[in-house]
Structure 1
Amino acid sequence: MGYVLGLGGPYHHDAAACLVGDGRVLAFAEEERFSRIKHHRDSRSAAQSAAWCLRQSGIGWADIDDVAVAWNPYWPNYCDRIGDAELIAELLGPDARAAGAPRRLTVIGHHLAHAASAFYPAGVTEAAVLVVDGSGDGVSTSIHHGSPVGLRTVRELPYTQSLGWMYQNATTHVGLGDWTNAGKLMGLAAYGQPRIELPFLHLTDDGYHLDLTRYGLPPFLGADATSRYTDFSYYRDLKLAYAKAFTDAGVPAQPPGGHHPDRMAVDLATSVQAALQQAMLALATNALTLTGTATLCVAGGVALNCTSNGILARTPAIADLFVQPAASDAGCALGAALECARRRGDFTVPGPRQAHTLLGPEYSHAAIETALAAAGARYSTPDDIAAAAAHRIAAGQVVGWFQGRAEAGPRALGARSILADPRSTTLRDHVNRDVKRREMWRPLAPSMLDLTSWTTTPHGPAEAMIVAHHATDTAHEQIPGVVHVDGTLRPQRVDPQIQPTYARLLREIQAETGHAVVLNTSFNGPGEPIVATPADALASGARLGLDALAIGDYLVDLTASNTTR
């Protein structure tokens, strides 16, 4: 078997590793789940996730044919291989070389890796591929044509045209934090009116054009553009320019925290979200025109914007939409591995369509029992863990759910989740305020067996909570805890063949409540990654004040004052 290891996110954040064997994705994990540092910031190392991928498949470094890195460390100079031993040790760990790791790594361009992560798992023969992010290897937006011969780049926009940076600077300006909190702006946008003018953004027939000249940031050309990108001076000046642009538009900068943004800040969020949606729709239309296809694949950090994806999904010209669930830089590990495998002849188009993200670590009964004993946890072993958890959820409890292999990407999809009854907005507010300890205006999402009663587009993409659907009147009335103020929900359609225990939980909830729907949010607290191990789940569940934890076949009572079994 030919093995390729892909590394994503080596820009000092979102490092990840993905192992592909004979063209099949075998394992995928993000470094943050091991390091316990959100987004694995300020490090390029993917050593722990890479080592886990190898252990998961029972192989060693000597079995790896190629390591593909989604980053050109020598940009703007061309580079197809990394041979720097010090850099390789930083990426793979200091012991990897001695253990037989390749001495030269293959470079896959950052946007090409994003594009590969969207096209190759889509299961289609041909597609337009749209990548929109902050920036990588000097590019912020790109369009590609995917076909049986691979990916061909047909259009690129430089880092000076970054929609991702526009969005994250708006997030900071309204007090919601840095780029890691862009999802907050998306949630807040539903509460305002798009009445703030954004004169720096010009929508065009083929997309958009950003011009911040009037705010002190002229366009940069030639060598100056390269140096100012690589030394981050452009990015520093960009932040100042956006701060001035938003202030000049009548929106003073908000203090950090963002729990109570004023009306102007809310309207800025709405205006920036609306502008992003228009630009994405124009880009998508241009991508279809340039490639002559009606199938669209999307990746890049901006592809995590569920609301924008919902607009694309409801666009008649787009016959088939696939959004990579791990759309951020971590997902580049998947794309780099698959692109390298295709070049080696191990992967052919079309491959199978990605049906789930359950590609991370799982734990045996013995490992769970060891963690339970170490924590002194009070637990039982019910005959049916799904039925036991469903009974507690139907009774209004908030339950941690830790089952099977972990999800890849930022959405918890029934493997490392916090679950509650979606019928109550009071319970939704409790989860936001008291459990997740986050802003009250942020939406929570549902997992469900069938979308027919709940969305107006029941056959639309809904595997990964990454596409917003319009809620039906029935959803508004019966599961209001998972319907956002803008009348949308971002569902996960659960496949019983892939997640039998989770599907059984939903059926048991239906038996008790009449609805096979559960409120599902990620199993983590503020500023921490999604839980990875049984020990993480026990500690986080107690810290967040969950009522119970269903971990494997064990039901842990977290409300009991007696912590012994």
Structure 2
Amino acid sequence: MGYVLGLGGPYHHDASACLVADGRVVAFAEEERFSRIKHHRDSRSAAASAAWCLHQAGIGWSDVDEVAVAWNPYWPNDCDHIADKDMIAELLGPAARDAGGPRRLTVIGHHLAHAASAFYPAGVTDAAVVVVDGSGDGISTSIHHGTRTGLHTLREFPFTQSLGWFYQFATEHAGLGDWTNAGKLMGLAAYGRPTVDLDFLNPASCGYHLDLTGYGLPPDADHTARYSDFSYYRDLRRAYGKAFTDAGVPALPTAGDDTHRGIAADLAASAQLLLQRCLISVVATALDETGSTALCLAGGVALNCTTNGILARTPDIETLFVQPAASDAGCALGAALECAHRRGEYTVPGPRQTHTLLGPDYDNHAIETALQTAGADYTTPPDIATAAARLLADGKVIGWHQGRAEAGPRALGARSILADPHTTASRDRINRDIKRRELWRPLAPSMLDLGPWTTTPDGPAECMIVAHDATPRARQQIPGVVHVDGTLRPQRVDPDLQPAYARLLHAFAAETGIAVVLNTSFNGPGEPIVGSPADALSSGARLGLDAIVIGDYLITPPPSSSTR
């Protein structure tokens, strides 16, 4: 059996590892779930996630045929392999080296890895593939043509044309935080009016054009030397600060519950609308140049659910696939699949990816050990799904930890916080008291059937990454998961993949009449989604959840922080 290990996110954030066996993905996990550092910031190491992937498959380093990394550390110079011992040790840890780990790594270009993560799992033979992010290996946007023979790059936009950085700095200027908070800008946009004139960025015939010449950064100048030392990035932050201020928006204080009423919301609406127009133009170019009716998306900007919803309803697009782990973490998946395709171990089309449940799971022994260590009081109800559904119907907010962990930023019923969506009260309690964040932040639903709830029930809805228009019934009966703009980001639950979660939805329907629950990620402010049962117990205690379900075990109430 041929094993390929992919490594993603080595730009000092979002490190990850993915193992592919004979072209089949068998394990995929993000380093943050092990290190407990959000986005695994300020480290390139993927040591824990790589070691877990090998353990999951029951293999050692001697069984791995190739390790591929989605990063060229020598850019702008070409590089096919990394043989630097210290760099390999930084990525995989000294333990891997001592255990006979790889002596060299195959380099897969960053945007090519993103593109591979979107095309190969899409289940199609021909597609336009668009990647949009901040920047990787000097590229910010790229267009590719995916065919049976693989990926062929058609266009690349340099880092000086970054839509991801534009959106990021708009987020910062609006007082919403750094690049990790771009999703807030998307949510806030629904409360504002697109009245801010951001005339330095415009859609164009080839996609779009960004011109910050008036702020000291002409797009045609050679900024290559200042890319790797981050001096260009620092100058770009200052340029955007001046550009947004000149557009009539002063730098705003840290966001609060009233942010949605002011000019920050108008900036968010303006930036969101401009991003949408530019992306629609890029996609039109991609479809025209490939002649395809299938579209695949990846890169951090592909996490913009609002834009994805617009694209999903575009008549020229018959098939839309958005990689659920669209950020740099997903590059581990793409690097591994691209490498496997080159080796002849992966053929197009492969099966369509319908879930991200590829991370660690825990048996009853591991769960009971965590419960005993935490001093938790627990029961084992005859039917854990029915017991959980009754708690939700009673208005309780619970943590739900089941099966293999999700990859990507969306909790999809494996590591989730769940509540009743019938009213906005549970949503507001989660935002205000549990997540301790702005009240205007939207939350998403998990459901068995989209038919009653969205106007596009056949649209992509596996991973909460595409916005749908809510039906009048949804607005009336599940307002806790309908955003102010009348959209929702649904997850359609597959009972074959998540039997316990599906049983919970059926049981909740028996209690309330609807098979929909409010679902948000099981984590607190500034922490990654929980990984292990111990993580769930400690996080649940800090957050003040009413109960936690871990496997077949019900903990009510969770142990207090003083008992951990």
TM-score range, shorter chain: over 0.9
Q: 3-state SS of the aligned residue for 2:371? A: helix
After superposition, the Cα gap between the structure-2 partners of 1:540 and 1:562, relative to the gap in structure 1 and judged at 3 Å, is closer
* 2-structure distance, mates of 1:118, 1:443: 26
- Which residue number in structure 1 is paired with residue 20 of structure 2? 20
* Matching residue of 2:217: 217
User: Does 2:515 correspond to 1:516?
Assistant: yes
Q: Does 1:288 align with 2:299?
A: no
Deviations 1:263-321 (A, max 9, x none): 21110000000001111111111100010100000000000000010010011111100
1:119 counterpart letter in structure 2: F
SS of equivalent residue, structure 1 residue 95? helix
Matched, 1:345 2:356: no
- The 1-side partners of 2:290 and 2:256 are apart by 42
User: Pairwise mapping of residues 184-195 of structure 1 onto structure 2 (< 5 A)?
Assistant: 184-195=184-195
Residue matched to 1:333:
332
Per the alignment, in what secondary structure is the counterpart of residue 177 of structure 2? coil
C-alpha distance in 1, partners of 2:510/2:494? Answer: 18
The residue correspondences of 1:438-449 to structure 2 (distance < 5 A) are: 438-449=437-448
Moved over 4 A (4+): 559-564
How many pairs are equivalent?
A: 562
> In the alignment, is the contact (CA less than 8 A) between 1:118 and 1:298 conserved in 2?
yes
Q: What is the aligned partner in structure 1 of residue 9 from structure 2?
A: 9
For residues 136-179 of structure 1, the C-alpha deviation after alignment (integer angstroms, 9 at most, x for no partner) is 00000000000010000000000000000000000000110000
- Judge which range, 422-431 or 106-115, deviates more: 422-431
* Cross-structure match for 2:381: 382
Residues 124-523 of structure 1: pairs in structure 2 closer than 5 A: 124-222=124-222, 225-261=223-259, 263-523=262-522
Q: Shift of residue 256 of structure 1? A: 2.6
Partners in 1 of 2:482 and 2:373 — Cα distance? 39
Match of 1:97, SS state, is helix
Quick one: which amino acid aligns to residue 247 of structure 2? A
Which amino acid counterpart does residue 256 of structure 1 have in structure 2? Answer: T
CA contact (8 A) 1:376 1:563 kept: no
What do residues 65-112 of structure 1 show as CA deviations (whole Å, max 9, x unaligned)?
Answer: 000000000001110000000000000101212212120100000000
Structure 2 SS opposite 1:326: coil
2:72 aligns with 72
Question: Structure 1's 251 and 554: CA in aligned 2 closer, same or farther, altered over 3 A?
Answer: same
Offset, 1:260: 3.2
Q: Distance in 1 between matches of 2:162 and 2:93?
A: 32
Partner deviation per Cα, 1:184-233 (whole Å, 9 max, x = no partner): 000000001001000111111332100011122222534xx211111111
1:116 alignment counterpart? 116
Does the 8 Å CA contact 1:417/1:522 hold for their aligned counterparts? yes
- Structure 2 letter corresponding to 1:317: D
Q: RMSD over aligned Cα, in angstroms?
A: 1.2
C-alpha distance after superposition, 1:311-355 (max 9, x if no partner):
100111111000000000000000000000000111000000001
- Report the Cα offset of residue 563 of structure 1: 9.8
Q: Which residue of 2 aligns with 1:103?
A: 103
Structure 1 contact 118–297 (Cα < 8 Å) conserved: yes
Percent sequence identity is 75
Aligned to 1:528: 527
User: Conserved in 1, the CA contact under 8 Å of 2:548 and 2:558?
Assistant: no
Q: Alpha-carbon deviation of 1:251? A: 0.7
SS of alignment partner, residue 241 of structure 1: helix
Deviates more, 1:348-357 or 1:258-267: 258-267
Structure 2 counterpart of 1:545? 544
Aligned equivalents of 1:562 and 1:454: distance in 2? 39
Whole-angstrom distance in 1 between the partners of 2:235 and 2:561: 56
CA–CA distance in 2 between the matches of 1:410 and 1:501?
21
CA distance in 2, matches of 1:326, 1:560: 32
Q: CA 1:70 to 1:468, structure 2 compared with 1: closer, same or farther past 3 Å?
A: same
Aligned partners of 1:8 and 1:336 also within 8 Å: yes
Residue identity opposite 1:289 in structure 2: D
AA at the equivalent of 1:514: G
Measured against aligned partners, the alpha-carbon deviations of 1:400-437 in whole angstroms (never above 9, x if no partner) come to 00000000000000000000000011111011111111
Name the stretch that deviates more: 175-184 or 262-271: 262-271
Which amino acid letter does the alignment assign opposite residue 219 of structure 2?
Answer: P
Contact 1:127 1:295 in 2 (8 A): yes
User: For residue 452 of structure 2, what is the amino acid of its counterpart?
Assistant: S
In 2, the alpha carbon distance for the partners of 1:434 and 1:508 equals: 27
| In structure 2, distance between residues paired with 1:424 and 1:129 | 39
SS of equivalent residue, structure 1 residue 230: coil
Q: Distance in 1 between matches of 2:356 and 2:241?
A: 37
C-alpha contact 2:541 2:559 (8 A) present in aligned 1: no
Secondary structure of 2:390 counterpart? helix
Counterpart residue identity of residue 251, structure 1: V
Letter in 2 for 1:199: D
Gaps of 5+ in 2: none
SS of equivalent to 2:94: coil
| CA distance, structure 1, for counterparts of residue 339 and residue 532 of structure 2 | 31
**For 2:219 and 2:494, how far apart are their aligned partners in 1?**
49
Q: Distance in 1 between matches of 2:473 and 2:334?
A: 39
Q: In structure 1, how many angstroms separate the alpha carbons of the residues matched to 2:557 and 2:217? A: 54
Letter in 2 for 1:99: A
Equivalent position amino acid for 2:174 in 1:
V
Cα pair 1:111 1:142 within 8 Å, conserved: yes
Aligned residue identity for 2:45? S
Deviates further, 261-270 or 8-17: 261-270
Contact 2:375 2:559 (C-alpha < 8 Å) held by counterparts: no
Aligned to 1:89: 89
C-alpha distance in 1, partners of 2:467/2:484? Answer: 12
How far, CA to CA, are the matches of 1:255 and 1:463 in structure 2? 36
Deviation at 1:559, TM superposition (A): 6.3
- 2:97 is paired with a residue whose SS is coil
Quickly say closer, same or farther: Cα 1:511–1:112, change in 2 above 3 A: same
> Structure 1 CA distance, aligned partners of 2:91 and 2:24?
23
Distance in 2 of aligned mates of 1:34 and 1:388:
30
2:538 and 2:561 in contact (8 A); partners too: no
CA contact (8 A) 1:378 1:563 kept: no
Deviates more, 1:71-80 or 1:212-221: 212-221
Give 3-state SS (helix, strand or coil) of 1:464's partner: coil
Mind listing any 5+ residue stretches in structure 1 that lack a counterpart? Answer: none
Q: Is the 8 A contact 1:250 1:264 kept in 2?
A: no
User: How far apart in 2 are the matches of 1:259 and 1:248?
Assistant: 26
